[in-house]
Amino acid sequence: MTAANDRAVSMARMMARLGARASTISSNTGLSTVAARRIYLHETGRRPPSGQHPSSYEWLESPVARVHSSLYLSFFEPRHRAGLDVCQAAVLAYADYMHAVEPEIELDFERAFFISKLLICSVGKSGRDGFQRRPCVRCGALYYVGQPQAARRQYVCPVCTGRAAAALSIRRRQN
């Protein structure tokens, strides 16, 4: 095994433990899909999740999702700006996110990886098609907001409006 292959396998193991799909592992490490599936099974004892990858902003419209996405991206963005590639930054940021919110994890690794790529694609754009980071006018916390919210000059975060807490309490009652 070469050093590059060792790094790819190590990254694949970390991604598998965080819940990445085999196709995500494969496309970001250069390993074959078969190898990624084997690694996932070995690391988790389960078959890798299947289905479509996240591909829509709609999930980000809920107040709880915005809070969790903003928290995750606050871990991701400095790492990516410091020179880590998307995959490395996402793995480290997601591990920190999980540690910060356990047991209230609302964001799975695939969704986190998707919004990481959305953020990178929207950097330097007006925010019309992507994210904008906006400070809450009440508490000053920075939140990443999508299309409808980005147009507002005076953004109030879901925590200050109470919508995030209300959404979480409804979800807890349903479970």
Domains of the chain by residue range: 3-44, 58-174
Mean pLDDT of 136-150: 73
Over the stretch 14-66, which tens digit does the pLDDT of each residue have? 999 999 999 999 999 999 999 999 999 999 999 987 777 676 767 777 778 88
Considering the entire predicted model, what is its pTM? 0.79
**Least confident residue range of 22-31, 58-67, 91-100, 139-148:** 139-148
- Cβ atoms of 122 and 146 within 8 Å: the answer is no
Taking residues 153-167, report their average pLDDT: 69
Pairwise CA distance, residues 150 & 144, whole Å: 9
Greater confidence, 15 or 135? 15
Q: What is the dihedral of CA 32, 34, 37, 42, to 10 degrees?
A: -100
Q: Whole-angstrom Cα distance, residue 53 to residue 23? A: 9
